[in-house]
């Protein structure tokens, strides 16, 4: 008997019982559902929620693979075991050693994210008696890409449970949540375990452990500095990376945020497949550039001098804000979440612009943690329904005025 037949038999056996959602989920995950509509349909399309989620995952896979290579590269580079990669195609970057180190550290993050998250999803489905929703398929891939490479697995597990339960299930599950679950998980990690989510050690594999050994007198090696570009600017210190390093992603950072080239490729793929909103992506970029220009104008006018703690990030050329930090990753893969983003076309422009604008504002005014895109997106998730409400009401008022003019 084939696996498909066995799963179908189990599905029929437990039909109407508590465990039915679990068997239904396994069956539909591996095979196409064998149920069809019995009445006429208004819209006929080949896509469904599972295919939509898988499309986003395909856009994220290149960032995941690159993140594995970069994790190993940053580890060996910080220890002085290899020279600079000499560009995106440098021989010292695309090596099996870098990939093995990266896979050894990152794949457990992926396993914990999916394992714990789906376990919570299955549990709620069984308790509530509804089908297992596919919404966590993308969240499970996003979470490992937005955390430091050495985050303890138990911390990640606790954060995933919190994010799925508080960020989604309490609102009714996929499609009902008002906050992006992946960003809810990251926010929990940042506020619950800040020492593991910021600083100049957490972004390079082995740096935290080596620093602890040195502090305990167990090692006479030099400490590893994994300071990010944002951290350097926040301290008004010299940045050791050029523009191409920032663009290709040969810099320390969270697993999936570093390669802006691959993020742009993912954005084009999502736009081509009509999964991601180009309006939100573009307006987020515009909002970030406008805020960057404002800060550059303040510096050029002499209002802020180099003695100010804000000078370093205010003086960053406005265009460079897009290739440092995670604002581009957030704009493409986080802000475009169709559940938590604005739904109206005009609302998407406003929503995205404010995300970019507020992200750079937080980045500059919070030198202790010079990255604000996840806070900006969570904030605008809350205000997205309000934005849509006023957009719709504005359209209603315009139509009412036209009716009055015609009636007159």
221 and 330 inside one domain:
no
**Is 38 inside any structural domain?**
no
120 and 259 inside one domain:
yes
280 and 233 inside one domain:
no
Model pLDDT, residue 229: 80
Model pLDDT, residue 31: 54
Query: Reduced to 3 states, what is the DSSP secondary structure of residue 6?
Result: helix
C-alpha span between 71 and 282 (Å, rounded)? 29
Give the contacts of 379 (CB within 8 A, at least 6 positions apart): 358
**Is 82 inside any structural domain?**
yes
Last residue of a domain, one of 236, 268, 300: 268
Q: Among 255, 142, 162, 243, which residue's Cα sits nearest to residue 202?
A: 255
C-alpha span between 363 and 198 (Å, rounded)? 13
Q: What is the pLDDT of residues 134-193, one digit of tens each?
A: 778 889 999 999 999 989 999 999 999 999 888 888 877 777 788 899 999 999 998 899
**Is 31 inside any structural domain?**
no
C-alpha span between 389 and 383 (Å, rounded)? 10
Q: How many residues does the chain have?
A: 408
Exposed, middle or buried, 235 (CB in 10 Å: 0-12/13-18/19+)? middle
96 and 239 inside one domain:
yes
Q: Among 325, 330, 209, which residue's Cα sits nearest to residue 276?
A: 330
- State the total domains in the chain: 2
229 and 302 inside one domain:
no
C-alpha span between 172 and 180 (Å, rounded)? 14
116 and 216 inside one domain:
yes
Last residue of a domain, one of 230, 251, 268: 268
C-alpha span between 400 and 190 (Å, rounded)? 48
215 and 180 inside one domain:
yes
- C-alpha atoms less than 13 angstroms from C-alpha of 188 in its C-beta half-sphere: 21
**Is 72 inside any structural domain?**
yes
**Residue 128 token pair:** 């509530």
Query: Reduced to 3 states, what is the DSSP secondary structure of residue 233?
Result: helix
Last residue of a domain, one of 268, 292, 309: 268
Model pLDDT, residue 155: 95
Q: Among 39, 81, 228, 85, which residue's Cα sits nearest to residue 149?
A: 228
Model pLDDT, residue 116: 94
**Percentage, residues of the chain above pLDDT 90:** 38
CA distances from 249 to 233, 240, 242, 288, 344 (A): 17, 14, 11, 20, 34
187 and 281 inside one domain:
no
Q: What angle do CA 108, 109, 111 make, to 5 degrees?
A: 60
Q: What is the pLDDT of residues 261-293, one digit of tens each?
A: 999 999 999 999 999 999 999 999 999 999 999
Q: Are 251 and 258 in contact (CB under 8 A)?
A: yes
Model pLDDT, residue 170: 80
* Domain span at 130: 50-268
DSSP states along 245-263: HHHHT-S--STTTS-HHHH
HEC assignment per residue over 157-223 = HHHHHHHHHHHCHHHCCCCCCCCCHHHHHHHHHHHHCHHHCCCCCCCCCCHHHHHHHHHCCCCCCCC
Model pLDDT, residue 87: 62
The dihedral through the CA atoms of 88, 90, 95, 100 has a sign that is negative
Q: Is 175 left (phi over 0), alpha (psi -120 to 50) or beta?
A: left
Model pLDDT, residue 30: 53
C-alpha span between 111 and 153 (Å, rounded)? 10
330 and 388 inside one domain:
yes
Model pLDDT, residue 292: 94
**Is 8 inside any structural domain?**
no
Model pLDDT, residue 287: 96
Digitized pLDDT (tens) for each residue of the chain, 408 residues in all: 565 565 556 555 555 555 555 555 555 555 555 555 656 555 555 566 667 788 899 999 999 999 999 999 888 888 877 766 566 666 678 889 899 999 999 999 999 999 999 888 888 777 776 666 677 888 999 999 999 998 999 999 999 999 988 888 887 777 778 889 999 999 999 889 988 887 777 888 877 666 666 666 665 555 566 667 877 777 777 777 888 888 998 888 889 999 999 999 999 999 999 999 999 999 999 999 999 999 999 988 888 887 787 888 888 889 999 998 889 999 999 999 988 999 999 999 999 999 999 999 998 887 666 578 989 999 999 999 999 999 999 999 888 888 877 776
213 and 156 inside one domain:
yes
**Is 392 inside any structural domain?**
yes
- Residue 144 has a CB neighbour count (10 Å cut-off) of 26
Model pLDDT, residue 10: 54
The dihedral through the CA atoms of 172, 176, 182, 183 has a sign that is negative
Residue 391 φ then ψ, to 5° = -65, -45
**Is 310 inside any structural domain?**
yes
**Residue 102 token pair:** 């990266």
108 and 182 inside one domain:
yes
62 and 203 inside one domain:
yes
Q: What is the CA radius of gyration of the chain?
A: 23
**Is 349 inside any structural domain?**
yes
**Residue 304 token pair:** 């802020």
Exposed, middle or buried, 149 (CB in 10 Å: 0-12/13-18/19+)? buried
Angle of helix 181-192 relative to helix 153-167, nearest 10 degrees?
130
């Amino acid at each position: 008997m084939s696996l498909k037949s066995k799963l179908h038999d189990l599905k029929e056996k437990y039909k109407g019982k508590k465990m039915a959602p679990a068997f239904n989920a396994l069956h539909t995950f591996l095979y196409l559902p064998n149920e069809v509509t019995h009445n006429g349909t208004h819209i006929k399309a080949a896509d469904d929620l599972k295919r939509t989620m898988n499309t986003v995952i395909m856009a994220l896979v290149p960032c995941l693979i690159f993140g594995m290579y970069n994790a190993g590269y940053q580890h060996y580079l910080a220890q002085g075991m290899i020279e600079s990669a000499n560009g995106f195609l440098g021989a010292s970057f695309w090596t099996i050693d870098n990939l093995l180190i990266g896979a050894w550290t990152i794949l457990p993050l992926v396993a914990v994210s999916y394992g714990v998250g789906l376990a919570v999803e299955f549990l709620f489905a069984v308790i509530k008696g509804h089908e297992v929703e596919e919404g966590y398929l993308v969240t499970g891939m996003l979470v490992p890409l937005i955390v430091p490479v050495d985050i303890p697995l138990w911390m990640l597990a606790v954060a995933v449970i919190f994010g799925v339960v508080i960020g989604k299930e309490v609102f009714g599950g996929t499609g009902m949540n008002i906050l992006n679950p992946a960003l809810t998980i990251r926010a929990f990690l940042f506020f619950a375990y800040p020492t593991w989510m910021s600083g100049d050690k957490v972004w390079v594999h082995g740096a935290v452990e080596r620093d602890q050994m040195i502090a305990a007198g167990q090692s006479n090696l030099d400490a590893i500095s994994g300071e990010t570009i944002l951290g350097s600017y926040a301290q008004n210190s010299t940045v050791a990376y050029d523009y191409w390093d920032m663009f290709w992603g040969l810099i320390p950072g969270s697993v999936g945020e570093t390669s802006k080239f691959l993020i742009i490729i993912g954005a084009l793929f999502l736009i081509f497949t009509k999964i991601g909103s180009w309006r939100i992506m573009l307006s987020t970029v515009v909002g970030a550039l406008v805020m960057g220009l404002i800060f550059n104008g303040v510096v050029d006018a002499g209002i802020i001098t180099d003695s100010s703690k804000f000078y370093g990030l205010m003086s960053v050329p406005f265009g460079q804000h897009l290739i440092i930090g995670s604002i581009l990753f957030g704009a493409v893969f986080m802000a475009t979440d169709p559940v938590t983003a604005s739904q109206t076309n005009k609302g998407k422009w406003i929503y995205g612009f404010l995300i970019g604008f507020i992200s750079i504002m937080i980045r500059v005014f919070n030198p202790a943690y010079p990255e604000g895109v996840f806070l900006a997106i969570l904030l605008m998730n809350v205000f997205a329904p309000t934005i849509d409400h006023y957009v719709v009401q504005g359209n209603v008022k315009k139509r009412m005025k036209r009716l009055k003019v015609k009636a007159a």
